[in-house]
Amino acid sequence: MINVLFLCTHNSARSILAEALLTHLGEGRFKGWSAGSSPRPGQMPNPLALAVLAEAGIATGELRSKTWDAFAQADAPVMDLIITVCDNAAGEVCPIWPGHPATAHWSYPDPSDVAGSDESRRAAFRQTMLAIRHRVTLLVALPPEQVVVSTLQRSARAIAGQGL
């Protein structure tokens, strides 16, 4: 199984969406995880992120916000790939990850920043989920020889350049 950690600042929207999508679409070949560089005290997944995932038929019961420090511990699951999904997290100094996983950056605007009606905010989350789904679909479709650690970084970075 290929373990992929998605990082964002607060771990409430984009990284949560990516974790759930990869686990769902990965069909046992990939497992999504997520964390934040600085989740707020008591941080929870954004209810709109959970709502659009549920609308898409994707399980949300085990999703929770957590700090990236949990994945830098010696007893943490070993990651094969770490993908930052927000520009703030991409610019931060990350912990030293056990196993020295491949890295990539997939930039998405923060749907939590959208103001307006409930429907316009929900639409922003839906749009972000679909953009993440596009790249996750490309990732899970990679042939086995492109998901070994030696080529995974190049493959994931190439996916970042795919149109949304």
CA distance 152 to 102: 6
Please state, rounded to an integer, the average pLDDT across all residues of the chain: 89
What pLDDT was estimated at residue 74? Answer: 81
The model's pLDDT over 97-146, given as tens digits with 9 standing for 90+, comes to 777 788 899 999 999 999 999 999 999 999 999 999 999 999 999 988 88
For residue 8, pLDDT over 80 is answered with yes
Residue 32 makes CB contacts below 8 A (sequence gap 6+) with 4, 6, 18, 19, 20, 21, 22, 23, 26
Return the closest-CA partner of residue 48 out of 147, 128, 148: 128
The model's pLDDT over 28-86, given as tens digits with 9 standing for 90+, comes to 999 999 999 888 878 899 999 999 999 999 999 999 999 988 888 888 899 999 999 98
For residue 158, pLDDT over 90 is answered with no
Q: Which helix (H) or strand (E) holds 84?
A: strand 81-84
Confidence band of 12 (pLDDT split at 50, 70, 90):
very high
* Residue 150 domain boundaries: 2-160
CATH number, domain of 86, equals: 3.40.50.2300
For residue 90, pLDDT over 60 is answered with no
Residue with tokens 């605007």: 109
pTM value?
0.90
Confidence band of 93 (pLDDT split at 50, 70, 90):
low
What pLDDT was estimated at residue 89? Answer: 55
User: In percent, how much of the chain has pLDDT > 70?
Assistant: 91
Domains contained in the chain, number: 1
